[in-house]
């Protein structure tokens, strides 16, 4: 009991320190609003969407938000907040991935209401990865990892299902020749496999090496996309174009419906010559002389006309100006929003075209959120500011969202489908050095924040304990040994939680962590992944027990290599049985979940190659907040 007592006391001491630190802020500094933390480690690029999503169904059985990101350890993650249960769960989608913020996951709600998650490496591998939840609306139940093989390397997945063709998924990305690419996929079959039945096709061919595209759909028959000549670092001027994919004809059209090309016949040839603007006057959305355009979002207004959030960057890349670009039914019009400063990050010698960021509210497309430098109590920081545009007069009203921040707030994003939800706006907060972790720079050690404070579940880690180890140092059972626990008869069929940790010494773990009546949880040293065995069926995790921290020892860049796995020297584990579902947690992140009964007629710890350390067994299901607290206290 001494161990648990010390853990609880440490928690209370930390809380007291935080309260004292807040009390010592000056009056000006105390008026700080930086939103509320969604995840302590996480980032995203802005060209793969939707990187977050809200979904609630008509029957009222699903009402959840999903926010995806990748951390500097190469872990692709997502937070699910269930508004019905008021439960927040952080899910490990894929561990040991290329630690690059371009690799954030994107979400798609399937017709059966399951959630499909796409992710890929940064132009580094000819495939997409995806996982699909086993249960509708619940990404804590993700199935096995699958691949969509392509001939060319991939980046930035943006998936759509449209009502005119509800039997297919349309996937857009940067692919063939580093250009906007599209394919049509079948819906997942009984084994969750999908197949490409049209494409992939390169949609446009620019005179620039790397056009950057943003996509959105009208939900019915068209996918709008706006794109640049190339990367603004390399192109001056860098034009902005606007086309649509008509999924019924599989052709490209301009904003007035003029057919530009048949996609399967070859890419539309695009350039930045003045004659192109004469020949295709409405397909060119902006061609300001001497400006390096970049795009942040495209959506549609209530009349279905496109609205674009874009930044114009000066020739020397020192001045970034935010603009609201819209089609008024006859011509493209623009309204200046704000000066966005220069590049927002702390590395002076790279990525001078990285603005703080913009996000249009798709429900109210006259509202744009921008990250702009503002003076405050802690100096000049990038703050989120809300701009409301009146296209009749050109007037722009502004309202601070964050203020007196201690770190930068950048890359805002409005969750699609969130118009009835209190969680609408999310962004990155913190320091930023590079889009990839390398020996040169630590990457993107930011957190993810939002405009909504989670309703946290109660934390009472001293309640419901059934058994625990009372060791200070040492091991409950050494490698290869097993500890059998005696469970009172009246507790053998109840919900339970077993929390413990394994010291691995940085070596692969093999064997069983724990086992009960008709279930076992262990790890395989060949795959480096955990597995669950329930009623004779083995289900393997998609996640190795390690990180991509080894990337920090190698050079910067996308070279197609997989560097060595950095195995956890210690792994904190929890298995929870609640209401007929068995869920495992690795270092506080939900890893596997199965709809299976799991009893405690017998329970044994150990028989793996690692040393099992202290454990606590509860005769109740701990919620994710409580598991997270145990993890934080055990480090």
In this predicted model, what pLDDT tens digit does every residue of 431-450 receive, in sequence order? Answer: 999 999 999 999 999 999 99
Tokens of 59: 């029957």
Q: What is the pLDDT of residue 318?
A: 98
Q: What is the pLDDT of residue 29?
A: 57
Closest CA to 206 of 159, 251, 238: 238
pTM given for the model: 0.95
* CA distances from residue 285 to 53, 243, 401, 488 in whole angstroms, order as listed: 28, 10, 29, 72
Provide the residue ranges of all domains of the chain, joining segments of one domain with +: 2-17+458-634
Tokens of 297: 């979002």
CB-side neighbour CA atoms (13 Å) of 478: 1
Q: Would you tell me which CATH number, out of the four given (3.40.920.10, 1.10.3470.10, 2.60.120.200, 3.90.380.10), belongs to the domain 2-17+458-634?
A: 2.60.120.200
Tokens of 619: 């005769």
Q: How far apart are CA 32 and CA 629, in angstroms?
A: 26
Tokens of 287: 């061609």
Q: By the 8 A CB rule, do 11 and 478 touch?
A: no
Q: By the 8 A CB rule, do 260 and 246 touch?
A: no
In this predicted model, what pLDDT tens digit does every residue of 489-528 receive, in sequence order? Answer: 888 888 999 999 999 999 999 999 999 988 999 999 999 9
Q: What is the pLDDT of residue 456?
A: 87
Query: Which residues does residue 468 pair with via DSSP β-bridges, in sequence order?
Result: 616
Closest CA to 156 of 205, 112, 211, 106: 106
CA dihedral sign of residues 367, 369, 373, 375: positive
Low-confidence spans in the chain with pLDDT less than 70: 1-30, 471-473
Q: What is the pLDDT of residue 494?
A: 85
Query: Which residues does residue 70 pair with via DSSP β-bridges, in sequence order?
Result: 43, 76
Q: Which long-range contacts (CB under 8 A, 24 or more apart) does 522-526 make?
A: 522/608, 523/608, 525/609
């Amino acid at each position: 009991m001494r161990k648990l007592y010390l853990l609880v006391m440490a928690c209370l001491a930390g809380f007291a320190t935080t309260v004292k630190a807040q009390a010592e802020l000056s009056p000006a500094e105390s008026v700080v609003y930086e939103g509320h933390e969604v995840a302590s480690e996480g980032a995203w690029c802005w060209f793969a969407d939707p990187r977050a999503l809200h979904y609630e169904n008509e029957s009222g059985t699903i009402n959840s938000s999903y926010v995806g990101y990748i951390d500097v350890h190469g872990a692709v993650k997502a937070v699910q907040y269930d508004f019905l249960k008021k439960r927040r769960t952080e899910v490990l989608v894929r561990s040991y991935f290329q630690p690059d913020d371009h690799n954030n996951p994107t979400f798609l709600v399937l017709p059966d209401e399951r959630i499909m998650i796409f992710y890929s490496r940064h132009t580094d591998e000819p495939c997409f990865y995806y996982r699909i939840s086993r249960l509708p609306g619940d990404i804590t139940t993700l199935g096995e990892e699958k691949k969509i093989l392509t001939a060319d390397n991939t980046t930035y997945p943006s998936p759509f299902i449209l009502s005119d063709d509800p039997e297919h998924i349309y996937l857009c990305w940067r692919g063939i020749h580093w250009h906007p690419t599209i394919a049509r996929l079948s819906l997942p079959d009984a084994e969750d496999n999908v197949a490409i039945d049209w494409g992939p096709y390169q949609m446009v061919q620019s005179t620039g090496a790397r056009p950057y595209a943003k996509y959105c759909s009208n939900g019915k028959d068209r996918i709008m996309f706006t794109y640049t000549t190339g990367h603004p670092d390399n192109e001056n001027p860098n034009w902005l174009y606007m086309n649509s994919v008509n999924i019924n004809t599989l052709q490209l059209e301009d904003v007035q419906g003029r057919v530009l090309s048949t996609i399967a016949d070859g890419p539309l040839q695009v350039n930045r010559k003045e004659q192109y603007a004469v020949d295709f006057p409405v397909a060119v959305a902006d061609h300001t002389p001497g400006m390096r355009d970049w795009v942040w979002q495209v959506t549609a207004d209530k009349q279905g006309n496109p609205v674009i959030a874009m930044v114009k960057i000066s020739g020397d890349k020192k001045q970034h100006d935010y603009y609201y670009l819209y089609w008024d039914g006859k011509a493209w019009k623009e309204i200046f929003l704000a000066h966005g400063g220069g590049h927002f990050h702390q590395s002076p010698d790279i990525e001078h075209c990285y603005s703080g960021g913009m996000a249009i509210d798709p429900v109210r497309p006259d509202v744009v959120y921008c990250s702009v430098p503002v003076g405050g109590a802690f100096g000049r920081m990038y703050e989120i500011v809300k701009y409301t545009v009146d296209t009749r007069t050109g007037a722009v009203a502004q309202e601070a969202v964050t203020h007196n921040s201690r770190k930068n707030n950048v890359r805002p994003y409005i969750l699609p489908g969130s118009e009835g939800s209190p969680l609408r706006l999310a962004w990155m907060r913190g320091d930023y050095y590079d889009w990839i972790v390398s020996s040169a720079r630590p990457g993107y050690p930011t957190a993810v924040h939002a405009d909504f404070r989670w309703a946290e579940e109660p934390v009472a880690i001293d309640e419901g304990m059934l058994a625990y180890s009372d060791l200070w140092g040492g091991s409950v059972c050494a490698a290869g040994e097993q500890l059998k626990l005696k469970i009172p008869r009246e507790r053998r069929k109840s919900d339970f939680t077993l929390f413990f940790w394994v010291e691995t010494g940085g070596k692969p773990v093999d064997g069983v962590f724990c086992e009960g009546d008709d279930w076992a949880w262990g790890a395989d040293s060949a795959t480096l992944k955990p597995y669950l065995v329930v009623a004779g069926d083995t289900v393997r995790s998609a996640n190795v027990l390690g990180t991509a921290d080894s990337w920090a020892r190698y050079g910067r860049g996308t070279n197609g290599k997989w560097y060595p796995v950095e195995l956890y020297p210690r792994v904190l584990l929890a298995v929870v049985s609640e209401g007929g579902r068995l869920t495992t947690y690795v270092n506080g992140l939900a890893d596997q979940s199965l709809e299976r009964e799991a009893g405690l007629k017998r329970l044994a710890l150990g028989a793996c190659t690692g040393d099992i350390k202290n454990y606590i067994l509860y005769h109740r299901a701990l919620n994710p907040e409580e598991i997270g607290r145990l993890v934080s206290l055990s480090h």
